[in-house]
A and B are shown apart, each in its own frame.
Chain A
Amino acid sequence: MPVIVVDMDKCTGHGRCYAVAPLLFTDDDEGRPIVLVSHVEGDSEKQALAAVAACPESAIWLEDDEQ
């Protein structure tokens, strides 16, 4: 099952991920994302891909979970 990866060194807090995929991400006190659901499939994978597509810093992607 694909897993959400956020590169916090690249993230600068635009807040697009938790705007377009509020079920998967929420915001911390600085406006950086917290991943709520890391393993995604079906509908949640679609939402995760929307967040990937919306991130101006390209700081989010999906990886295949090895397990």
Chain B
Amino acid sequence: MKKQANVNRRVREPRSNETLSNAFAVWADLRAAGDDATFDGCPVAATRDDAMAVLSDPELFTSEGRLDLGSSRLLIPQEIDPPEHRRFRALLEPVFAPKEVRRMEPAIRAMAVELIEAVRPAGACDVVTSVATLAPRFFAFELLDLPESGFEEMLALKDQILHPPGATDDERQANKRAAGSKIEEMLAAAMHERMANPSNDILSRIIQMEIDGDRLTSEEIQAIYYNFWIAGLDSVAAMTTCMFAFLAGSPEHRQRIVDDPAVIPNAVEEMLRRESIVETVARVASRDCEFNGHAMKQGDQIVVALGAANHDPSMFTDPEVVDFDRNANKHLAFAAGIHRCIGLHLARLELSIMLEEWHKRIPDYWMPEGTELTWVDSPIRVVESLPLEWKES
């Protein structure tokens, strides 16, 4: 298996809180710039049509090696391409298919209720630390069956990868890789333990999977573990935070959820679109080509601005407005094409259950007067802290 891809790494430019808190305006500027738009120095697909054109052409715009998430291996399936990619997705998609995910509902609900009941009597909490960050516990403990004692360290390592400390790009890369290396040790230990004592968790199931009669190699297994680990811990947490930040400021949307819980799945879809917490994904040119007038060399990255595409007014009328009844919601919050988020059914269920159980217990809440949100400079949109208050009943 290849470890090092021939990719011109995308260097993330640090962004100010002002830029981060005005993401919707930044996205509008990207769309307005048309062919001149760049992001982190890369050409950018910022309209919905352009985003789809890139995402649905995996032969020209490949996924190899562009994630840069601290792993020493290409992540499977996110950083590999067809035909290998199809074989791995065929193995892994059934694990996260709706039929499987529905069986997880009682356990997810129990964990959500436990988190909410832990904060409810106080009449106040920081959603980030007390609810959202802890919400993926279900994923980490029930599905992957990782040791609970290591959860805080896992979260700290995940943060170090997504927004690595350091004054220069070199320092940030070194810190990211150091965290990635610790995670690899942790996941290797988990793999060896399951090889010795197989059980029913997803990590054990992956060890037992076969392609054309052959078990996966330990390199492949670890590349899958790392991919699931990084994808499962952060995105649902960030989206939970963004949903509550929006709802805290919009009593009418909150009331709709309280009065009509059946609207929650649509509400989640609409907030996924509007918040677009995975602001961008990237692809790599597999050969010299041109995109919107930009000459691209083989190995150059192109940024697909999912947020900008999800706010494209030619597809979404009044894109900044949250409309739970929005009909044509062909949003790209989970990307599209062969790499669409493999965990999307699980993510939707986790988010829906959190909204249902929270609003049953805490229907009315708000941010304390004068709250100013500070955004984290990370590939995933999230605030550092989200204080909420409510009348304890």
Contacts and interface: CB of A to CB of B under 8 A. Distances in A.
Interface string B340-375: 100011000000000000000000000000000000
Contact of B98 (A12, A27, A50, A57): A27
Given A14-B340, A14-B344, A19-B265, A53 B99 contact: no
Given A53-B328, A56-B330, A31 B336 contact: no
B61 to A, nearest CB: 15
Interface string A43-60: 000000010011111100
A64 interface: no
A2 interface: no
Interface residues of B, number: 23
Given A12-B338, A14-B340, A14-B344, A30 B97 contact: yes
Nearest to B327: A53
Given A12-B337, A12-B338, A15-B345, A54 B330 contact: yes
A46 to B, nearest CB: 11
Contacts of A13: 93, 97, 340
A66 interface: no
Chain A contact patch, size range: 20 to 34
A57 B93 CA distance: 17
What secondary structure prevails in chain A residues at the interface with B? loop
B327 A50 contact: yes
A31 B97 CA distance: 5
- Which of A10, A16, A28, A56 is packed against the most chain B CB atoms within 10 Å? A56
Given A27-B97, A57-B336, A15 B330 contact: no
Contacts of B99: 27, 29, 31
Contact of B330 (A27, A30, A53): A53
Interface in A3-50: 10, 12-16, 18-19, 27-31, 50
Nearest to B339: A12
Interface string B309-346: 00000000000000000011111101011101000110
A12 B345 contact: no
B328 A54 contact: yes
B82 interface: no
Contacts of A18: 98
A31 B337 contact: no
B39 interface: no
A56 B327 contact: no
B311 to A, nearest CB: 15
Nearest to A13: B93
Contacts of B251: none
Interface of B: 56, 90, 93-94, 96-99, 265, 269, 327-332, 334, 336-338, 340, 344-345
